[in-house]
Amino acid sequence: MLPRFPEGFLWGTATAAYQIEGAVTEDGRGPSIWDSFCAEPGRVKNGDTGDVACDHYHRWPEDVALMADLGVNAYRFSVAWPRVQPDGRGPANAKGLDFYDRLVDALADRDIMPALTLYHWDLPQVLQDGGGWMNRDTAHRFVEYAGLVADRLGDRVDVWITLNEPFVHMTEGYGIGTHAPGEALLMGALPAAHHLLLGHGLAVPVLRERTSGQVAITNNYSPVWAASDSEADLTAAAAFDALQNRLFTDPLLLGRYPGMGAYGVAAEPAFVRDGDLDAIAAPLDLLGVNYYSPTRVAAPRGRAAGSGPSVLREVERHLEGAGLPFEDVPISGYPVTAFGWPVVPDGLHELLTGLRTAYGDALPPVLVTENGCSAPDVPGRADRDRIDYLDGHCRAVHRAIEDGVDVRGYFVWSLLDNFEWAEGFDQRFGLVHVDYATQRRTPKASYHWLREELARYR
């Protein structure tokens, strides 16, 4: 049994549009960068695509019923921008918004609070044709899109998350090209980071004006462990920390970028214009925190890539010889997920208390907007690994709350097995198994475990 969490704590599951919806050409949805990326041979494992995914666009009533039965009181989902603005600009495609309208009402009927992410990486392709997030104008397009969604759902959605994991989107999408849109600009991708943050910051006042909800952004964090106490390793750890953890948080909470000198980036890059940082630092109601595992780094010395989160391993593979100021070192002594990520529940406690230490009163209340693990799809397997993973991480959150971090909720990634980006359908993160051939949903042992835990709060 887990320890008891505070009254009103949000227990949820999380998903994202492209990973579950399918129906990519229905009701006026336009193409997204992920449709294009999946269509390019060799980009996604097994040639998988999100064309059908979990067919959630048609099966959402069953999925909402699964959540109601599970006993969660919150659901984090994302809206597909290309459903709302197939052309990336101009008036809303009403049918696209109708889908989310029905979903939000069905959630309310089941007392499940909607937490809506506006952007989980599925940019309308037409905007990418104009440069995507490398183009400053995309930030303004995002604000227009946010306003359309807010106008329709602003009275019923409680939490508005502007962006999901801009670090991954910038790094994998624009830095090394392992995600859509497949650009490999290396550190030249930094303008995309700035424009993502700018889009977020400019959207905040629009969301405040047109919704009654709380405004947030979700970042993914990884506590960085230096491989030794040597000055060189500590410097390498600080450099990686600046890239993964601080680049997308310091500007939001402190109104300034961390020093990126280790990457040869100027203190005041030309793409940052007067007033941008003020916009980006618009006060937040909540900070969304995604956590999967810590990262160990050393000063670069040409060793084999380690076992850290896939982003770092991928970055290393692609930037070999490009003069990165750090090197990934395997974390051993812990179980690993099917993805090979080390399972370190204490890392979540370290992260949450570390955020509090680093940002003090500038840190808004936190929602753990994603946490979970992939486990092999072995028929009849007891799903024990996932139960242990979730149990350990929930306890870590509880300890962080006891230690004074204001954590308001925990969302399991994910409700359903789904399309895991470049990994296709191989990695299964769901509490509910999906048979992709039949779309049959089967709750796993971890679903039943969580259901029992949540029954105490009913």
* Residue nearest ligand IFM, Cβ-based: 16
CB of 429 to ligand IFM, least distance (A): 6
Report yes or no: 419 and 18 within 8 Å, Cβ to Cβ.
yes
**Out of 21, 165, 183, 350, which one is annotated catalytic?**
165
Whose Cβ is closer to ligand IFM: residue 10's or residue 16's?
Answer: 16
Residue 370 bears catalytic tag: yes
Whose Cβ is closer to ligand IFM: residue 211's or residue 337's?
Answer: 337
Q: Which residues lie below 8 Å from residue 180, measured CB to CB, with a gap of 6+? A: 32, 33, 34, 36, 37, 38, 121, 123, 173
Of 389, 357, 354, which Cα lies nearest the Cα of 371? Answer: 389
Report the distance separating Cα 408 and Cα 11, nearest Å: 9
Report the distance separating Cα 343 and Cα 184, nearest Å: 30
Whose Cβ is closer to ligand IFM: residue 233's or residue 370's?
Answer: 370
Judged by DSSP in three states, 314 sits in helix
Whose Cβ is closer to ligand IFM: residue 36's or residue 135's?
Answer: 36
CB of 424 to ligand IFM, least distance (A): 12
**Out of 172, 316, 350, 370, which one is annotated catalytic?**
370
Q: Binding residues for ligand IFM, per CB under 6 A?
A: 16, 19, 165, 290, 370, 413, 420, 429
Whose Cβ is closer to ligand IFM: residue 207's or residue 373's?
Answer: 373
Whose Cβ is closer to ligand IFM: residue 211's or residue 220's?
Answer: 220
Report yes or no: 410 and 398 within 8 Å, Cβ to Cβ.
no
CB of 370 to ligand IFM, least distance (A): 5
Residue 165 bears catalytic tag: yes
CB of 53 to ligand IFM, least distance (A): 12
CB of 171 to ligand IFM, least distance (A): 13
Whose Cβ is closer to ligand IFM: residue 145's or residue 429's?
Answer: 429
CB of 420 to ligand IFM, least distance (A): 5
Paired tokens of 233: 């390793």
What is the identity of the amino acid at 283? P
Backbone angles phi, psi at 340, to 5 degrees: 90, 10
CB of 416 to ligand IFM, least distance (A): 11
Paired tokens of 293: 């595992």
CB of 373 to ligand IFM, least distance (A): 9
Cβ-based neighbour number of residue 381 at 10 Å:
13
Rg (Cα) of the chain, in Å, rounded?
20
Calculate helix-pair angle for 56-70, 445-455, nearest 10 degrees: 50
Q: Which residues lie below 8 Å from residue 341, measured CB to CB, with a gap of 6+? A: 292, 293, 307, 308, 309, 310, 373
- Report the greatest alpha carbon distance in the chain: 59
Of 412, 369, 261, which Cα lies nearest the Cα of 325? Answer: 261
Report the distance separating Cα 429 and Cα 415, nearest Å: 8
DSSP string, 202-269: HHHHHHHHH-SSEEEEEEEE--EEESSSSHHHHHHHHHHHIIIIITTTHHHHHSSPPP-GGGT--SS-
Active site residues: 165, 370
